[in-house]
Amino acid sequence: MINENRTWPVRSLNGQLLITVLLAGGASLYTILFWRAELGLNALLFSGFLALVVWLMHPEYRAAPRLWLVTLGVLLSAGAVVWQHSLLAQITHVISIFLLLGFAQARELRFLGFAMLLALSSLFSAPLAWWKRWEYTYEASFRWFRTWAYLTFLPLGLLVLFFNMYYFANTQFAQLVDKLMAWLPHFSPWKSAALMLQGALLMSVLIWSSVWTPELQKVEQSFGLWKKRRRKRVKTFMPTLALKRHYYSALLSFGLLNGLLLLVNLIDIQGVWLNQQARSAAELSDYVHQGTYLLIYALGLAMGVTTYFFRGNLHFLQHNQTLKLLAYAWIVQNIILAFSVAWRNYHYIVEYGLAYKRLGVLWFLILVALGLYSLFVMIRQRRSLYYLWVINAWFVYVSLLSSSMVNWDVLITRYNLSQAQHAKIDTMFLLREVSDKNLPLLLNEHERLLERSNSAPENVDKFLQLKIKAFERRTARQGWRGWNWADEVTRRAL
């Protein structure tokens, strides 16, 4: 099945020529920008090209606000790659590219998960749609193409086969070939062909619709963001009685769960908020992780139980204010539980400095707060479970996009060095686990690093030099395509 929704003029010579130029040009540009290069300036240039293709070739999409947001996300994440050059920025950029491909297939999508799924499926189905459409549109030309391919690929295939046989059988012939190939030391036909194929796949997703697009659109349209009252054709007392039983079951469940969580929160207030007893690093680490695992379980349970009890017509039952108040109370108590975990994490950071996992806990707590807020909105405004999926997926994406703009390596290093007067610095963490973006700061604070280190000074200098050499090796062949501001700052500091 081929989706004919796209408005490409494929039956005209100009339309087919435009498609060919886009495919060949996009694949060539992708190969030129990313051949043996790190992500850097090339990511921003190719992202701008993709955005230009979408907006010029699909003018009907310009009124789609979600496509606007995702396109902005692609450009911002590419800018973050050039500016910060962090692993988080690169991951966010790849996610943004896939979201753009998904929304380019179906602008009506609301759930980011569906857009990602559609983009992944389109990488396989869009080339098939292109092949079928080409064969259908140019049947006579396609017969000529098959004849031409038979006359070309068979001789070339035999040539490659016997070339390899002669290469491995004749030493002098192999030496001659090696001398010729030495003129192109960095060229690999297989790798360049793989990059060309990747670029062509990306362009094909922007040009042709996936066979799964109409099916996924139907699935997405079957979900609504608002709860709708279910009406029976024949009115009886049984549905009302069943709804009443469901209401009292929910009332009892929320009452018991609130009581249980109240006990947990009172214990946390006594043991975490008011207890100033000093704890070791191992105790604090276990304390934070236990609270985080409990919070993950509690939040999942809160969303699952709330959506279960507020399914169907319970939203529309008269005099259900008591149940809603109990649900609101449980949400507030989950916020208190999240604050307890944040308090534990705060003490851990104050005593032993910043680290990636401790920052990850803070990021998770922010998402928890946003998730609980969306749960409150779902109950208050009679929203659906699908609303939770949509809004929380956007929360996660925006949080990733915002976090990729921050140089966390420098932030961690600066904070840990500023706390050196209170405790020893974990220098091996700063030298071996934090990326080389903190090298300028480590060199500027070299004396403090040696003075307050928890390792021997000779070990500190040894690993500092190793880190500098690793940076120089990594950036030796970076070139203009992989250029980024973070490495430029480090290069100037050295």
In a domain, 388, yes or no: no
181-190 CB burial, b ≥16 within 10 A, e <16: eeeeeeeeee
Q: What is the pTM of this model?
A: 0.82
344 vs 280: which has the higher pLDDT: 344
Q: Report the pLDDT value the prediction gives residue 6, as an integer from 0 to 100.
A: 47
Question: Picking from 106-120, 152-166, 401-415, which range would have the lowest pLDDT averaged per residue?
Answer: 152-166
Phi, psi of 269 (to 5 degrees): -60, -40
In a domain, residue 131? The reply is: yes
pLDDT one-digit tens code per residue, 127-175: 666 666 655 555 555 555 555 555 555 566 667 667 766 766 677 777 7
> Does residue 17 form part of some domain?
yes
pLDDT attached to residue 147: 58
> How many domains does one find in the chain?
3
| Domain shared by 128 and 63, yes or no | yes
Q: Euclidean distance between the first and final Cα of the chain, in Å?
A: 59
| Same domain flag for 276 and 324 | yes
462 and 343 together in one domain = no
Residue 246 within any structural domain of the chain: yes
Check pLDDT > 80 for residue 294: no
Query: Is the residue at 398 inside a domain?
Result: no
Residue 56 has pLDDT above 90, yes or no: no
Q: pLDDT at position 141, please?
A: 53
Confidence of residue 29 (pLDDT cuts 50, 70, 90): very high
pLDDT in the model for residue 87: 94
Residues 356 and 428 in one domain: no
Out of 221, 253, 287, a domain closes at 221
The answer to whether position 391 is within a domain reads no
pLDDT band at 281 (very low <50, low <70, confident <90, very high): low
User: Do both 248 and 329 map to the same domain?
Assistant: yes
Q: Are residues 322 and 430 in the same domain?
A: no
Residues 57 and 183 in one domain: yes
**Same domain assignment for residues 358 and 452:** no
Tell me the per-residue pLDDT of 57-103, one tens digit each, with 9 for 90 and over: 777 777 788 888 999 999 999 999 999 999 999 999 999 999 999 99
Question: pLDDT at position 279, please?
Answer: 67
For residue range 358-388, list pLDDT tens digits in order.
999 899 999 989 999 998 998 888 888 888 8
| 98 domain-assigned | yes
**Per-residue pLDDT at 392 exceeds 90:** yes
Of 155, 189, 221, the position where a domain reaches its end is 221
Per-residue pLDDT for 106 more than 70?
A: yes
Is residue 365 situated within a structural domain? yes
Domain co-membership, 213 together with 269 = no
Which residues constitute the domain of residue 373?
Answer: 237-383
Band (pLDDT 50/70/90 cuts) for residue 46 is very high
Q: What is the pLDDT of residue 370?
A: 93
* Residue-level pLDDT at 463: 94
Last residue of a domain, one of 221, 256, 289: 221
What's the number of CA atoms in the CB half-sphere (13 Å) around residue 220? 21
| Same-domain status, 191 and 62 | yes
Q: Using pLDDT thresholds of 50, 70 and 90, give the confidence band for residue 233.
A: very low
Beta carbons within 8 Å of 478's beta carbon, 6+ residues apart:
37, 38, 40, 487
320 plus 455 within the same structural domain? no
Residues 9-20: tens digit of each pLDDT: 443 445 566 777
Q: Which long-range contacts (CB under 8 A, 24 or more apart) does 454-462 make?
A: 454/424, 454/425, 454/426, 454/427, 454/428, 455/427, 455/428, 459/428, 460/427, 460/431
The confidence score (pLDDT) of residue 237 equals: 42
Answer yes or no: do 42 and 160 share one domain. Answer: yes
Please tell me which residue, 195 or 392, carries the higher pLDDT value: 392
